[in-house]
Structure 1
């Protein structure tokens, strides 16, 4: 049985997690450029009550968290897709997809919800789809 649908959903979900990693990388980049953050705060019409260095440090730590969690989610998705190759272990792949989707949606506080939904659908498809059995008469 071909598992093309599950693999495609896994690839798209991994692409969404890669997008989150890029956002995290951008936050890390802003941490290393506090002058740019200060300039943006100076142009803001409202006072946020936080200094540019504090904002940059907070964004940097959040960025590191996003990058690390996204890379782990991508790796787990690739592992699940490898397990699907040749229909070797679809149950294990489904469990990995579902666990990854739930855990990383929760720990990113909903930031990875779209990728999580795709991984969840792929995981459910892995667990539910059964190979067709030929009936011999």
Structure 2
């Protein structure tokens, strides 16, 4: 039995997790370079046409200290990518679709819970792939 749908959903979900890694890396970079970003915005305030209210909002955003936000947004999608690849390898040749389905479902659900819904689209794709892995059974031939 071909598992094209499951592998395709896994690949698309993995691509979304790659985007999550990039966003997490950008967030981590911004956390480590707050002074540079704040100086850049204040120097170019007139060119960017920020109002006083906009500057207050930006300053509040720079003062937020969300501990662990950046590293979490980099490490979690990398783990999801690795687990997705493992699940797709288990699907190759229809070797172990049950284990692949469990990995897909667990990865998708745990990622969505840990990121508080941040990766909902990729989590849904992994969840659907996992359900397909568990629900589709190979056809058995009945010999007479």
TM-score, length-scaled by structure 1: 0.87
Query: What is the CA deviation profile of residues 59-114 of structure 1, one whole-angstrom value per residue up to 9, with x for unaligned ones?
Result: x8412111100000111111111111111110010001001111000000100100
C-alpha change, 1:18 and 1:135, in structure 2 (3 Å) is same
Kindly report which structure 2 residues correspond to 1:1-137, keeping only aligned pairs within 5 A, or say none.
Answer: 1-34=1-34, 35-40=36-41, 43=50, 45-46=52-53, 47-48=56-57, 50=60, 52=62, 54-55=63-64, 58=66, 61-137=68-144
Paired residues, what number?
A: 134
Q: How far does residue 38 in structure 1 lie from its aligned partner after superposition?
A: 4.8
C-alpha change, 1:128 and 1:37, in structure 2 (3 Å) is farther
Which segments of 5 or more consecutive residues in structure 1 lack a partner in the other structure? none
- Quick one: distance in 2 between partners of 1:113 and 1:37? 31
- Quick one: distance in 1 between partners of 2:18 and 2:125? 14
C-alpha change, 1:65 and 1:37, in structure 2 (3 Å) is farther
TM-score, length-scaled by structure 2: 0.83
Q: CA RMSD in A?
A: 2.1
Q: Is the 8 A contact 1:101 1:116 kept in 2?
A: yes
Q: Tell which structure's C-alpha radius of gyration is larger.
A: 2
- Quick one: distance in 2 between partners of 1:132 and 1:45? 67
